[in-house]
Amino acid sequence: MSDNHKLPLVALISGSGTNLQAIIDGAVGDLPVEIRAVISNRPDVHGLTRADNANIPTRVLNHKAFPDRESYDQALIELIDEYQPELVVLAGFMRILTPGFVRHYAGRMFNIHPSLLPKFRGLNTHQQALDEGETLHGASVHFVTEELDGGPLIVQAQVPVQDGDDARTLANRVLQREHLIYPLAIRWFAQQRLWLAGNGQVYLDDQPLQQPVLFTPDQEIA
Ligand code: GRF
């Protein structure tokens, strides 16, 4: 790999795209990636505007135009693969993926999830954390496997729950950390320091990760 190799990636979104923005901003800086396309399953979402503003090609593949998950995911594979990405980044892509789709991108697809997995898979994670009386919440980046929000963890950021937090205030603080840990995991992968072995073991810098890299509240994230 030459020093100026840029990892080709495709990002999938469904909404606002603040994580996408963090990756775009990274790529404008020294994050060694080339965002070849941003694909949304929903038209008219703000994430598409963010991509447009950065001169990144955008595509909409509306799930409502397909009869079932299999046919949608097959069309999505064909669309993504036009861009020949080495990494697929789920950045608020609000779809349950078929096993065939996940297998096609095994070891080269990331997701970010707003909880300290394995706690609080699925939706409404911030409210769940509040309802459970958690004092620490956060976000996780993981490789995507067939188990929803259950793939091998890469990095997590902890966010303390504060008195008076509601789901919105907590979500906002978690998002600030998401915007740091997602580009970080992508950087490691782009630098070929991070990979997923066939047995599901994550390696970082040739060491098996026994637990995700953890960023604590006061820690600076490089
Ligand atoms: C984030 O909370 C992310 O963890 C979850 O979906 C949300 C996407 O937000 N997967 P944004 O579209 O990146 O602003």
> What pLDDT, in 10s, does the model give residues 167-199?
999 999 999 999 999 999 999 999 999 999 999
Catalytic annotation on 5?
A: no
Residue 1 has pLDDT above 60, yes or no: no
Contact 17, 47 (CB under 8 A): yes
d(CA 86, CA 88): 7
Residue 8 has pLDDT above 90, yes or no: yes
pLDDT confidence band for 3 (50 / 70 / 90):
low
Among candidates 110, 83, 84, which has minimal Cα distance to 97?
110
- Residue tagged 């998950």 (tokens): 69
pLDDT at 110: 98
Catalytic residue among 113, 126, 137, 179: 113
Closest ligand 1 atom to 16 CA = 12
Least confident of 1-5, 57-61, 166-170: 1-5
pLDDT at 2: 53
Q: What is the CA(121)–ligand 1 centre distance, in A?
A: 14
Closest ligand 1 atom to 114 CA = 4
Contact residues of ligand 1, CB 6 A cut-off: 15-20, 47, 91-92, 112-114, 139, 175, 178
Question: Whose CA is closest to atom 9 on ligand 1?
Answer: 92
Q: Is the pTM of this model over 0.85?
A: yes
Find the mean pLDDT for residues 15-19: 98
Residue 127 has pLDDT above 90, yes or no: yes
